[in-house]
Chain A
Amino acid sequence: MTTNSYFSPQRFLNYLKFDLKINAKTYLFFAIGLLVVLFFADYFSISQTNSTIGYTEKQYSPLFFVMFTICSILVMATSFPELRNKKEASHYFLLPASTFEKILVQFLIRIVAFTVVFFLIFWIDFKMTHIIYQAIEWNKPIAIKSFDLFTPFYDLTRTTDLIAVILAMFSVATFLLMGSSIFRKYALFKTILSFGILLGIFFLTMVFYSHVFYPEKVKNFFSIEIQSYKIRPYLYNVQLFVYILISFASLFFLPLTYFKLKEKQV
């Protein structure tokens, strides 16, 4: 086996071009749809603002994260659309590219490109909505701060927090990608459900260990008791545990996606 069996730059480029050409209309309509949906969300958010306080990061950042989460789930959990029916799946598996290249294309388009496009569209859309709002509702002026592309992340002043948020987003994204490669029917619903189950299992495991290690401290059956202490200034042991968990989750999800796709039969 040579690396060529897994990745060849020329073949990958050919396959990427193929995907972009064959799905050009879908991607274009999605971008337009996103522009419209975000416009209405922004408009609604601005219109609900108290004019005496004005529109600040406190409204802008939560709106960004809510919309980004919803759209990410919709985009990432519907990756590998060809796997949804047998005819298309056969056609997809027989396309001359490696499994790794097929995953990489989905990863680049559904995670990387989507994130970049979302940041840009959200920012541009907000500016547009602001102008349109002021033109329509000229008698109800609202002071709106000037936001830039990365405003939602400015609250995360410590680098460790910023890295943790990015890694958490990355882990969830890879989980959604994995779900879409495993489930043939109702992939979106099943992926969200399995994410919920995973969180539930994690919660119950923590409850179980709380009862095992701190039986005298747990207040009720479902409470979690964790001994928290500072490792360094601004870094608690629990924080470190979460950082490690979210950093390594994607290292598990991505290979699983690869092997699930490789083993799939039609």
Chain B
Amino acid sequence: MIEINNLSFHHKKQKTLFNNLTYKQTSGSITGLLGKNGAGKSTLLKLSAGLLHPKQGSIIINGYTPSNRNPDFLADIFLVSDEPYLPSLTVASYLAIYAPLYKNFDLEKMSKILKEFELEAHQKLDGISHGQQKKFIIAFALSTNCKLLLLDEPTNGLDIPSKSIFRKVLISSVEEDQLVVISTHQVKDIETIIDKIVIIEEGTIVFEKETQLVTEKLQFQKLESISENSNIIYSEKCPGGYNAILPANNDEETEIDIELLFNAICNKTEIKL
């Protein structure tokens, strides 16, 4: 579904962001695109949506070249940007005007998600908070049933209950033929919903693994002391001890700690799976 080959890109008058980037991703998953600020996450999403054009190499999404902005391609992709543009309309008017543009739009699904997010049809979109705007556009994106959903920092501005509703709604809404790419630096927010982790650093993909494989091969433990344990791959001090990554022990599977894994990779720790 996403096929990036030898992609090179740089913004005007800036140093190269991506150099020979190659990445492939089939549908049916929720992929977490992680990276520090300025790593190139949002740019990669914009390139995938056709808002930016590669300098070299190619991007193929659902069989289309995004930069051509083919209308069939645009009808099957939805990008939720960090600061979405919402016109001065009520929720109901927005749906009446925008929904007909997406042939697979599911109004029933939309009203269910709106109810979950506690948004009302009469609310003016430019009068609600940033978090509520974000919730609305996420609800709309999910209801379009587009084959590819690109979510750029979707949990930015959401309060704690909304973040958990977001996770619940996302898992229940995504179908087998869809691909969701979530770009974020708030890794904790999405650790329970993603099934693939992609980490970008300085324009290069430095880690790309299925979460299932990570949990099979690694253990994430809280240890009181690390001095007697020589197996530790990476550790960080925390209140009451250390958070550590260890090689998996066959009889025990632990919950993934993406933030720890992310920090390990950012600190150039070699993780072999």
Contact = CB atoms under 8 A, between A and B. Distances in A.
Contacts of A96: 71-72, 74-75, 101-102
A94 B71 contact: no
Contacts of B114: none
B46 interface: yes
Contact of A94 (B70, B74, B83, B87): B74
Interface residues on B, range: 20 to 34
Interface string A81-107: 000000110110111111101000000
A10 to B, nearest CB: 10
Given A90-B51, A265-B51, A266-B52, A95 B101 contact: yes
Interface in B56-77: 69-72, 74-75, 77
A70 interface: no
A93 B81 contact: no
A262 B69 contact: yes
Interface stretch (A12-20, A51-59, A243-251): A12-20
A5 B85 CA distance: 26
A5 B53 CA distance: 19
A11 interface: yes
Contacts of A95: 74, 101
A101 to B, nearest CB: 7
A90 B71 contact: no
Interface in B18-62: 46, 49-53
Nearest to A20: B97
A97 B96 CA distance: 17
Given A5-B70, A5-B72, A11-B71, A266 B51 contact: yes
B87 A22 contact: yes
A22 B96 CA distance: 10
Nearest to A265: B52
A87 B87 CA distance: 11
A96 B101 CA distance: 6
Nearest to B46: A266
24 contacts: A4-B72, A5-B71, A5-B72, A14-B100, A14-B101, A15-B101, A17-B100, A18-B97, A22-B89, A22-B97, A90-B79, A90-B85, A93-B69, A94-B50, A94-B74, A95-B74, A95-B101, A96-B102, A98-B69, A98-B70, A98-B71, A262-B69, A263-B53, A266-B51
